[in-house]
């Protein structure tokens, strides 16, 4: 068995797991390391099978900044615009401000079975996979990670370990040094198309406060396509990041509700639409990122996002009857 197999199977002590994590961090995690860990994590997960091509949008976290759950809002917009989305994520590790904290606060059952997730996907183009619920084997490394401290290989593998065999993905990272490595890992994992983004001033999403570094990859490609996105290119007036609303789960729930109602702060509309725009482009549903941004913004302001949210809530109630 490999090192990661032994970790996930509970064959190593917490101290041995911590030592392995620290050793890998000091060496520097490579695309091959990330790929190998993701493959094993998925093998040990509860899988979800689906015939069509699916998209995921998520970040690695780690910016340390108060923030709104942008990618969670994006999931509702993408699915409303005919992109099948199965978002994989978790609760906040340090405080309750993760994507699944928000979903739970909105009254959504986050511990859905595979059949329930598939049911909502069929009915609405949207499903949510609570990582903690679908990766029970990762509990075996929790104490070792705590002993090791800091960020580790598992922070890098988390966004890539969606057990639904996704085809398209936008991944955010707050560590620019890891962006290209994550993109190469996406190629190894067989993503049809993916983009890893790092936004100024150090956020794991497309920024409206400064340039966003994008590392785009396609299946079978030998190299990564690098480019920048600026707010001005999308027709957005840059906003200082600290002025963009965001915070704990209650604050973010109020912001999300205002987004559905079309009354959110302009910066929230813009940052959500910008991130959705890149995802629409990567999934092949927009010819340009700017075109995707404009479609996403119209989706918010026209009430289409709100109708999709209501549709999803109804589907959750239907899926609750699925055994």
- Counting DSSP H helices and E strands in the chain, the numbers are 14, 7
* Residue carrying structure tokens 């079978």: 220
Phi and psi, residue 128, nearest 5°: -120, 130
SS3 at position 35: helix
Residue 118 tokens read as 């598939």
Q: Which residues pair with 225 in a beta bridge?
A: 216
Range of the domain at 191: 53-130+164-319
Q: Which residues pair with 319 in a beta bridge?
A: none
Phi and psi, residue 205, nearest 5°: -165, 170
> Tell me, what CATH number does 242's domain have?
3.40.1030.10
Residue 251 domain-assigned? yes
Rounded distance between C-alpha atoms, residue 213 and residue 200, angstroms: 8
Residue 21 domain-assigned? no
pTM of the model: 0.95
> What are the angstrom distances between the C-alpha of 36 and each of 89, 96, 257?
20, 30, 40
Residue 45 domain-assigned? no
Domain total for the chain? 1
pLDDT per residue of the chain (323 residues) written in tens, 0 to 9: 689 999 999 999 999 999 999 999 999 999 999 999 999 999 999 999 887 899 999 988 765 666 899 999 999 999 999 999 999 999 876 666 789 999 999 999 999 999 999 999 999 999 999 999 999 999 999 999 999 998 899 999 999 999 998 999 999 999 999 999 999 999 999 999 999 999 999 999 999 999 999 999 998 887 899 999 999 999 999 999 999 999 999 999 999 999 999 999 999 999 999 999 999 999 999 999 999 999 999 999 999 999 999 999 999 987 777 55
Residue 295 domain-assigned? yes
Residue 119 domain-assigned? yes
Residue 248 domain-assigned? yes
Residue 47 domain-assigned? no
Rounded distance between C-alpha atoms, residue 49 and residue 66, angstroms: 35
pLDDT for 2: 86
Q: Residues 223-249, buried b or exposed e (16+ Cβ, 10 A)? A: ebeeeebebeebebebbebeebbbeeb
Rounded distance between C-alpha atoms, residue 60 and residue 179, angstroms: 11
Rounded distance between C-alpha atoms, residue 232 and residue 109, angstroms: 39
DSSP string, 220-287: T-SS-EEEEE-GGGGT-----GGGS---SHHHHHHHHHHHHTT-S-HHHHHHHHHHHHHHHHHTTS-S
End-to-end CA gap in the chain:
35
DSSP string, 134-201: H-GGGGGGHHHHHHH-S--HHHHHGGG--TT--SEEEEE-S-GGGHHHHHHHHHHTT-SEEEEEEETT
pLDDT for 276: 98
Angle, in degrees to the nearest 10, between helices 266-282 and 70-80: 60
Residue 259 domain-assigned? yes
């Amino acid at each position: 068995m490999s090192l990661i197999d032994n970790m996930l199977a509970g064959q190593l002590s917490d101290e041995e797991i911590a030592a392995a994590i620290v050793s890998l961090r000091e060496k520097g995690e490579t695309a091959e390391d990330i790929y190998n860990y993701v493959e094993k994590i998925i093998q040990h997960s509860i899988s979800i099978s689906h015939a069509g091509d699916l998209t995921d949008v998520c970040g690695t976290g780690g910016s340390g900044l108060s923030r709104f759950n942008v990618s969670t809002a994006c999931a509702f917009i993408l699915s409303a615009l005919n992109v099948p989305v199965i978002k994989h994520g978790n609760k906040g590790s340090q405080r309750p401000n993760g994507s699944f904290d928000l979903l739970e606060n909105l009254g959504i059952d986050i511990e859905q079975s595979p059949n329930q997730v598939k049911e909502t996907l069929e009915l609405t183009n949207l499903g949510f996979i609570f990582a903690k619920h679908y990766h029970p084997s990762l509990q075996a490394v929790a104490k070792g990670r705590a002993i090791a401290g800091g960020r580790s290989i598992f922070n890098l593998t988390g966004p890539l370990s969606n057990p639904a065999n996704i085809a398209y993905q936008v991944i955010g990272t707050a560590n620019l040094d890891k962006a290209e490595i994550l993109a190469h890992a996406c190629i190894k994992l067989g993503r049809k198309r993916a983009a890893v983004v790092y936004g100024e001033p150090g956020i794991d999403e497309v920024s409206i406060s400064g340039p966003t570094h994008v590392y785009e990859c396609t299946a079978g490609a030998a190299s990564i396509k690098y480019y920048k996105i600026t707010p001005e290119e999308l027709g957005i007036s840059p906003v200082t990041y600290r002025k963009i609303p965001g915070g704990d789960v209650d604050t973010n729930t109020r912001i999300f509700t205002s987004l559905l109602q079309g009354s959110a702060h302009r910066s929230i509309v813009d940052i959500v639409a910008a991130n959705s725009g890149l995802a629409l482009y990567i999934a092949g549903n927009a010819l340009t990122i700017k075109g995707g941004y404009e479609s996403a913004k119209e989706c918010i302001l026209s009430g289409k996002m709100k109708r999709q949210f209501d549709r999803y809530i109804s589907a959750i109630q239907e899926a609750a009857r699925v055994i």
